[in-house]
Structure 1
Amino acid sequence: MKTFNVPVIYRSPLISAIKNKRKGQDKMKKDFTPTLLDFGAIRILLARHFGFCYGVENAIEIAFRTVDENPGKRIFLLSEMIHNPHVNNDLLDRGVQFLMDTSGRQLIPWESLLPEDIVIIPAFGTTLEIESKLSALGIEPLKYNTTCPFVERVWNKAEQIGNKNYTVIVHGKPKHEETRATFSHSQAATPTVVVKDMEEAILLGEFISGKKDASTFSTVFKGQHSEGFDPAKDLQRVGVVNQTTMLATETQAIADYIRQVMIDTFDLSPEAIPERFADTRDTLCYATNDNQSAVLGMLKEPADLAIVVGGYNSSNTSHLVELCEEKLPTYYISSPDKLRSAEEIEHWDFHHKQELMTTDYLTSKNPVTILLTSGASCPDALVEGVIRKLLSFYGVEQQADEIISQL
């Protein structure tokens, strides 16, 4: 796989050494057991896969190269390039400006842009409507495009099945930048509807089966369907694609559920299923799969708590937190600074969108065992920082350097 020129400030000698050793031992990435870092009084189980994915490194390389190659020019990002505050703040510090926030609210008027300005498309991609707006302003919309190739693969699959007269069902968060972009590209080719979870998939299934009155569809899925969507006509043939950062198991469960609804509604034989339901399994992102599988592998080990590092508006990170929360006390932090002391940790409750302070999070057990992972947009340097901060509470921080020399 291609390697990228990512600023050294995001790299970590410790994490790189660990990842390189695991890669050498497991080239096919079949082993999802964590790496044990045993420091005596504290034991850290580090997930097999975590941190920057292909799409994030691609976006970072393009964005920083664009800044370096265009001194003196005004450079804008449509919105946050990735969902990590450290990377976005580094770009802001270098003079890049955001045109919108992550919800799509305008921060800088379109009318203020000039044809010579540079506009970078974030890793989530953007809508066809925004591409047209940029073109109308004399700005080539895709000249500085950091859209993740795996997001574009979802768009291509949506267009492919749309051209075969399937309606596209997008599993995603309706307000997320990636889902908004995927919806825009999909609805250009075929009727499209967004479902955010299994509950909404079940509701959609009731429209497919006729259990729900078609006249209520536009109310139930308000703001989540293409214009003129007719459930009586447009739910005859369907396929499911996803926002690439969703829980892979949930996407698969939704696809399996809709598939079964189609079988039951239309009394399909196994051979006839493709006539009504498109196979779209290849839209699941490899990094999402690997990182989530690594967390599941990590959770098989006995531990006292889990720490997940990443931006608080990161979808893929929040799903790693969800998985950990099912088994252990879990703390979602954005940086090592959130580890206030051995007694206090400041962490994000993404369910209620608030930051909490918890005391006595490091149990009185000796040794204490901590599961540690991070989201796909989190720099490895932050994970090393978390490890070193934890070790400092036990007076063994120097042992991190010893591990590097031993690997």
Structure 2
Amino acid sequence: MKKFNVPGVYRSSIISAIKSKRKEADKLKKDFSPTLLDFGPLQIFLARHFGFCYGVENAIEIAFRTIDENPGKRIFLLSEMIHNPQVNADLLNRGVHFLQDTKGKPLVDFDELSADDIVIIPAFGTTLSIEGKLNKIGITTEKYNTTCPFVEKVWNRSEQIAGKGYTIVVHGKPSHEETRATFSHSAANAPTVVVNDMDDAVKLAKYITREKPLADFYVEFEGRYSEGFLVERDLQKVGVVNQTTMLASDTQAISDFLKELMVQYFNLTDANIDERFADTRDTLCYATNDNQTAVMGLLETPADLAVVVGGYNSSNTSHLVELCEEKLPTFYIDSADKILSKKEILHYNFHSKQELHTVEYLPSDEPVRILITSGASCPDAVVEAVIRKFVSFYEVDRTVEEILSYFE
């Protein structure tokens, strides 16, 4: 896989050595067991896969190269580059300005832009409407487009099945930048509707089977269907694609549910299922799959608590938290600074959208066993800082550097 030129401040020699050693021993990525860092009274288990993915590294490289190659020019980011506070803060400190917030609310009026300005499209991609606005101003988007190739893969797959007459069902968070972008590209080629979860899929199914009045669809899915959508016509033949950072198992479950529904309702067989349902399993992102599968492997290890590191508005990170919460106490933090002491921690509850303060979060009995993973937009350097913070609380048998020697 391509190597990217990412600022060294985001790298960690410790994490890089661990990942390199694991990759060397498991080239086919069949071993999802965690890596043990045994400090004696503290045992840290690192997920097999975590941190920057291909799309994130690609976006960071393009963004920082753009800044370096264009001194004196006004450079804008359409919205956050990725959902990581450190990376976005670094870009702002380099003079980059955001045009919108993550919900699409304007921060800078497009009328203030000129053809001499540079606008970087973030890793999530953007809508055709926004691309059109920028192009009309004279701003070319191709050169500074950091859209993740795996997001574009979803768009391309949507276009392919649209060409065969399928309606596109997008599994994603309706307000998320990537879902808005995918919806826009899909809706340009086919009738499209967004479902947030299985509950939405069940609601949609009732319109396919005519169990609910078709007119109710336009109320229940308001703002989430394409212009000109006709329920009686556009739910006869469907394919499911996803926001690449959703839980892969959730997307698969929604796809399987709708497939079985079509089989039952239209009396289909394996031989003719494609008359009503498109197989789109190939749209699931490799990094999403790897990171989530690694967390499942991580959770097989007996532990006292889990720590998930990443931006609080990161969809892929929140899903890792969701998986961990099913098994044990989980603390979602965006930096080592949130670990206030051995007794106190600040952590985010993504359900209530609140940062919480918890005391006595570490058990008193030793060894303390902590599971650690991070989101796809979290720098490895942040994970290293978290490890070092926990290590500082104990009279450890060996240092971080001594542990590192095992992986060199």
The answer to whether the superposition gives a TM-score over 0.5 is: yes
Q: In structure 1, what is the equivalent of residue 208 of structure 2?
A: 208
- Take 2:397 and 2:112, find their aligned partners in 1: how far apart are those partners? 51
Contact 2:102–2:176 (Cα < 8 Å) also in 1: yes
Contact 2:76–2:120 (Cα < 8 Å) also in 1: yes
Q: In structure 1, what is the equivalent of residue 270 of structure 2?
A: 270
Q: In structure 1, what is the equivalent of residue 279 of structure 2?
A: 279
- Take 1:263 and 1:406, find their aligned partners in 2: how far apart are those partners? 54
Partner SS state of residue 271, structure 1: coil
- Take 2:406 and 2:303, find their aligned partners in 1: how far apart are those partners? 25
Q: Note the 1:172-183 alignment, pairs <5 A.
A: 172-183=172-183
For the pair 1:314 / 2:318, whether they are aligned, the reply is no
Shift of 1:228: 1.4
Structure 2 portions without partners, runs of 5+? none
For the pair 1:353 / 2:378, whether they are aligned, the reply is no
Contact 1:34–1:47 (Cα < 8 Å) also in 2: yes
For the pair 1:343 / 2:332, whether they are aligned, the reply is no
Shift of 1:378: 0.1
Give CA-to-partner distance per residue, 1:165-211, whole Å, 9 cap, x none: 00000000000000000000000000000000000000001111111
Contact 2:39–2:398 (Cα < 8 Å) also in 1: no
Distance 1:245 1:213, change over 3 A: same
- Take 2:229 and 2:282, find their aligned partners in 1: how far apart are those partners? 26
RMSD (Å) for aligned C-alpha atoms: 0.8
Shift of 1:398: 6.5
Q: Note the 1:129-148 alignment, pairs <5 A.
A: 129-148=129-148
TM superposition score normalised by structure 2? 0.99
For the pair 1:381 / 2:381, whether they are aligned, the reply is yes
- Take 2:387 and 2:398, find their aligned partners in 1: how far apart are those partners? 11
Which residue type is aligned with residue 131 of structure 2?
E
Q: In structure 1, what is the equivalent of residue 96 of structure 2?
A: 96
For the pair 1:196 / 2:196, whether they are aligned, the reply is yes
Shift of 1:395: 3.5
- Take 2:109 and 2:314, find their aligned partners in 1: how far apart are those partners? 26
- Take 2:321 and 2:357, find their aligned partners in 1: how far apart are those partners? 17
Partner SS state of residue 271, structure 2: helix
- Take 2:231 and 2:399, find their aligned partners in 1: how far apart are those partners? 61
Contact 1:84–1:314 (Cα < 8 Å) also in 2: yes
Q: In structure 1, what is the equivalent of residue 15 of structure 2?
A: 15
Contact 2:40–2:398 (Cα < 8 Å) also in 1: no
Q: In structure 1, what is the equivalent of residue 324 of structure 2?
A: 324
Which residue type is aligned with residue 287 of structure 1?
A
- Take 1:252 and 1:166, find their aligned partners in 2: how far apart are those partners? 18
Shift of 1:396: 3.4
Contact 2:84–2:378 (Cα < 8 Å) also in 1: yes
Which residue type is aligned with residue 248 of structure 1?
A
Contact 2:307–2:331 (Cα < 8 Å) also in 1: yes
Which residue type is aligned with residue 250 of structure 1?
D
For the pair 1:120 / 2:120, whether they are aligned, the reply is yes
Give CA-to-partner distance per residue, 1:338-390, whole Å, 9 cap, x none: 00000000000000000000001111121010000000000000000000000
Shift of 1:141: 2.1
Give CA-to-partner distance per residue, 1:285-312, whole Å, 9 cap, x none: 0000000000000001100000000000
Q: In structure 1, what is the equivalent of residue 152 of structure 2?
A: 152
Which residue type is aligned with residue 54 of structure 1?
Y
For the pair 1:76 / 2:55, whether they are aligned, the reply is no
Shift of 1:143: 2.1
Shift of 1:269: 1.5
Shift of 1:405: 2.1
Q: In structure 2, what is the equivalent of residue 240 of structure 1?
A: 240
Partner SS state of residue 169, structure 1: strand
Which residue type is aligned with residue 142 of structure 1?
E
Contact 2:41–2:395 (Cα < 8 Å) also in 1: no
Contact 2:42–2:396 (Cα < 8 Å) also in 1: no
TM superposition score normalised by structure 1? 0.99
Contact 2:331–2:347 (Cα < 8 Å) also in 1: yes
Shift of 1:314: 0.1
Q: In structure 2, what is the equivalent of residue 187 of structure 1?
A: 187
- Take 1:300 and 1:101, find their aligned partners in 2: how far apart are those partners? 38
Contact 2:41–2:396 (Cα < 8 Å) also in 1: no
- Take 2:18 and 2:149, find their aligned partners in 1: how far apart are those partners? 27
Which residue type is aligned with residue 344 of structure 1?
E
Which residue type is aligned with residue 388 of structure 2?
R
Which residue type is aligned with residue 136 of structure 1?
K
Structure 1 portions without partners, runs of 5+? none
Which residue type is aligned with residue 313 of structure 2?
N
- Take 1:99 and 1:194, find their aligned partners in 2: how far apart are those partners? 25
Contact 2:309–2:375 (Cα < 8 Å) also in 1: yes
